[in-house]
Structure 1
Amino acid sequence: MEEEAMVVEVREYREERDREAVEEVERECEVGSTTCGGDGGGAKMSLFTDLLGDPLCRIRNSPAYLMLVAETATSGNGGSSSREIIGLVRGCVKTVVSGTVQGKDPIYTKVAYVLGLRVSPRYRRKGVGKKLVGRMEEWFRQNGAEYSYMATEQDNEASVRLFTGRCGYSKFRTPSLLVHPVFRHALRPSRSAAIVELERREAELLYRWHFAAVEFFPADIDAVLSNVLSLGTFLALPAAIKWDGVEAFMDSPPDSWAVVSVWNCKDAFRLEVRGATRLMRAAAGATRLVDRAAPWLRIPSIPNLFAPFGLYFLYGLAGAGPAAPRLVRALCRLAAQHGTRRRLRRGRHRGVRPVRDGVPHWVRLGAEDLWCIKRLADGYTHGSLGDWTKAPPGRSIFVDPREF
């Protein structure tokens, strides 16, 4: 009987040579399933992601990025050999805020982000995932990153076990993923809120002013806001407030305000809800039938989430004052006008309760994320912050839409 020896090589992704094989691994792994709430009968619904033909779409907008693949080289006694891509991982490096000096001046730190780790089901529990992460961390260190972090769903036990148990990461932050469908009929805009679309320069000034002390705020926010996928930044104010420009706003902000930016994900990947009961599907379909028969009623019919759909990601969500929840709702209604049927809008948010309370969302479609972090080199000095992995959580974090 001929014996075979399997050797796993980790190397850089090559577009022309590897694309088809990488897409096959993505399909085998279902490209990431996010578990949603139950339907009352014990069943679970899940959001499944389908990348649209570009394995680098989630990292190519970052300042520095890399994709690695794990490839087997199997040889037999007869001299025959075969090669197969069995895993992949993506990573990027950037500079973000990690803390402040005396609560004011931001401390910027070079960090790395691990995402899109996939291992073919046939080769799991063989050390492939750990080997991919280890090689990616080598590249992170070469590019000067002091910390590496990753995000997963809190109930993804296999991923959490790999990173915290075998790769040396620590549980760090727990942002919430809020999801809301865009209905066929957009909700009427609020008459009690005035919404201003900010120019890119104005948005950058406002963000650097407000997020200067917020963890993970990117130093290159100007590149984020000027990206073609960023559809605009919108500031909501009470209707009675006069807009005199961003400088006047920052000098004397009103009692209540809210801001958000919109990022276009619909051409990068599609999602689909699976696991819903027949009764749930039928009820959702009935609302659409009624809506088509009597559109003047403006019934918020439930989109067909059970077929592939795109989404918009709301980022930079912030606000202040007693009217902040109402102003946030006005911004979310405006964001819905960018969407059409079968699209979703999402926001990742953590901490600031009044702002979160204003975000319309379906609990059934949401998820709780877990961010894990690792210090890559003990010899680094990190300003006056010390070890960021041991820092207590702040009131909020900034989620970079380039990594969504």
Structure 2
Amino acid sequence: MGVMCEAEAGAKKTMIRVREFDVGRDLRAVEELERRCQVGMSGDQNPDDNGGARKKKTKKGMSLYVEQIGDPFSRIRHAPDHVILVAEYGDEEDIVGVIKACTRMVSRGKTKKKQSPSSSKQQCHQFVKVACLLGLRVSPSHRCKHIAPSNASKHDSALTQIICRRLGIASELVRRAESWSASRGASHATMATTASNTASLALFTGPRFAYAPFRRPVFLGHPVHRHRARLPRAHRVLRLPPPLAAAAYAALLPPAAAEFQPADLPALLAHKLTLGTYLAIERSGPARGPPSYALLSVWDATRSLRLRVGGAPTLLRASLAAARALDRNAPWLQLPSVPDIFRPFGTYLLYGLRMSGPEGPALLRTLCRHAHNVARKNPACAVVAADLGPDDPAAAAVPHWPRFSSDEDVWCIKKLRVNGGNARDDDDDWTASSPAGVLFVDPREF
């Protein structure tokens, strides 16, 4: 199924064919497209600048690049319902565009009362089905149509005029992804980009699709060095088995207190890439007042993505290299030397961060140090990072370095329509609601 579009008034109409991805037929083509093309969302950059990596602005003159490792399904395979759509253009059989989408049940961050059709009692409705649109890519050679006027000399570049018109490939991919999502029962669609990606924001928030900027999570990263971080003696760190971890989250972070918390949180906590869920408490109990605690889980993302810092001045690179050399030759100095972050490196993601009580921030810092000690055992991991809502109190307690952190991310959202008609009316306008206390960032879709 495709859509017809004109490259120029009066020109021959050309078909854009959008179909589902076929692994045996399309894998190599999609991998090549992701390697070389400019991405229309998620902050990805021009291939001439950075090979298609997602770029998060950090310090002035420096950027943090996020690169996926090879697997086209890496960000959607954990969702029970997902799809990859590819686009072909005209008579060509080459793939010129791709988009990924998945649906999942997530919390709204509040409890909505809903009338039961069989009873006069009201029922709690905490979860909604949301679609995530990811990895939109359009081939650089098919973003625009270049046409030279018939009266211009073929070899006279000074006289030749180029008329450039977008072909609508990205728009058709987004439209088809939204249609697929609505057919799966999703009431909202979301996408993520960066504030500096004006092309992506213009496409999604423009009049054609009318997404609304929604949430602004902050990415907080801290380097992993070779030496063990010391934990306060007054704090005790407990590792919770998955069933107990799920019970702890149900009690300490209920769906009504968090946005985008997945309904399958127990499965996430039991996933093989969740290295552990940790609870920190005071050994002697609270001196006075309510008890304090901190809770977080650690996800191994070293197998699915790589990060890299770009744009660093030469002097900084040299000084960090010297610190590493000194640390290797004089380890007794216990220098917290920074790994080589100017080459691709892996990361552990912290998720489900929660704290409470007067000692909560200190306990959360202890858990972050414990996560650092877990990460230092993996040579592929150079940074421990967390994605949090800017208003989350945990954001102020998480240790981080500015060069590994970013506040560039922008989440956008829209209500989906039913069969091309009006937007769904079975839910109030989430797009205009104020943020909940906690923004839960699922590490499976990072």
So what's the TM-score if we normalise by structure 2?
Answer: 0.80
Structure 2's unaligned 5+ residue stretches are 1-10, 38-50, 114-122, 144-165
- For residue 57 of structure 1, the aligned residue among 74, 93, 116 is 74
**Counterpart code for 1:9:** R
- For residue 110 of structure 1, the aligned residue among 129, 133, 141 is 129
User: 1:8 and 1:241 mapped to 2: Cα distance?
Assistant: 65
- For residue 62 of structure 2, the aligned residue among 35, 44, 52 is 44
User: CA deviation digits over 1:15-67, x for unaligned, max 9?
Assistant: 1211111111111133332233235xxx2333141x32211011101121111
CA 379–160 in structure 1, closer or farther in 2 if over 3 Å, else same: closer
User: CA deviation digits over 1:152-173, x for unaligned, max 9?
Assistant: 1122111111110132211111
**Counterpart code for 1:93:** T
Say whether the 8 Å CA contact 2:223–2:383 is kept in structure 1: yes
**Counterpart code for 1:128:** I
User: CA deviation digits over 1:234-267, x for unaligned, max 9?
Assistant: 011112239xxxxxxxxxx952111100111101
**Counterpart code for 1:101:** T
User: 1:102 and 1:64 mapped to 2: Cα distance?
Assistant: 25
- For residue 21 of structure 2, the aligned residue among 6, 10, 13 is 13
User: CA deviation digits over 1:315-362, x for unaligned, max 9?
Assistant: 101111221221111111111123245521211111455422221111
Say whether the 8 Å CA contact 1:291–1:297 is kept in structure 2: yes
User: 1:281 and 1:4 mapped to 2: Cα distance?
Assistant: 54
Aligned residues: 379
Structure 1's unaligned 5+ residue stretches are 75-81, 243-252
- For residue 273 of structure 1, the aligned residue among 306, 309, 322 is 309
User: 1:379 and 1:8 mapped to 2: Cα distance?
Assistant: 26
Q: 2:54 matched to 1:33? A: yes
Say whether the 8 Å CA contact 1:234–1:331 is kept in structure 2: yes
- For residue 94 of structure 2, the aligned residue among 65, 84, 88 is 84
CA 262–106 in structure 1, closer or farther in 2 if over 3 Å, else same: farther
User: 1:388 and 1:274 mapped to 2: Cα distance?
Assistant: 36
- State the identity as a percent: 41
**207-216 or 228-237: bigger deviation:** 207-216
Say whether the 8 Å CA contact 2:296–2:353 is kept in structure 1: yes
SS of corresponding position for 1:207: helix
Identify the residue that residue 172 of structure 2 maps to in structure 1: 131
Q: CA RMSD in A?
A: 2.2
SS of corresponding position for 1:367: coil
Which has the higher Rg, Structure 1 or Structure 2? 2
SS of corresponding position for 1:38: coil
Say whether the 8 Å CA contact 1:73–1:84 is kept in structure 2: no
User: CA deviation digits over 1:183-242, x for unaligned, max 9?
Assistant: 122312222211111111111112122232111111111121111111110011112239
Say whether the 8 Å CA contact 2:62–2:309 is kept in structure 1: no
SS of corresponding position for 2:178: helix
CA 4–44 in structure 1, closer or farther in 2 if over 3 Å, else same: farther
Say whether the 8 Å CA contact 2:110–2:436 is kept in structure 1: no
CA 319–352 in structure 1, closer or farther in 2 if over 3 Å, else same: farther
Say whether the 8 Å CA contact 2:392–2:439 is kept in structure 1: no
Identify the residue that residue 77 of structure 1 maps to in structure 2: none
- For residue 217 of structure 1, the aligned residue among 250, 261, 266 is 261
Q: CA deviation at 1:299?
A: 0.5
Q: CA deviation at 1:105?
A: 4.9
User: 2:312 and 2:431 mapped to 1: Cα distance?
Assistant: 39
SS of corresponding position for 1:9: strand
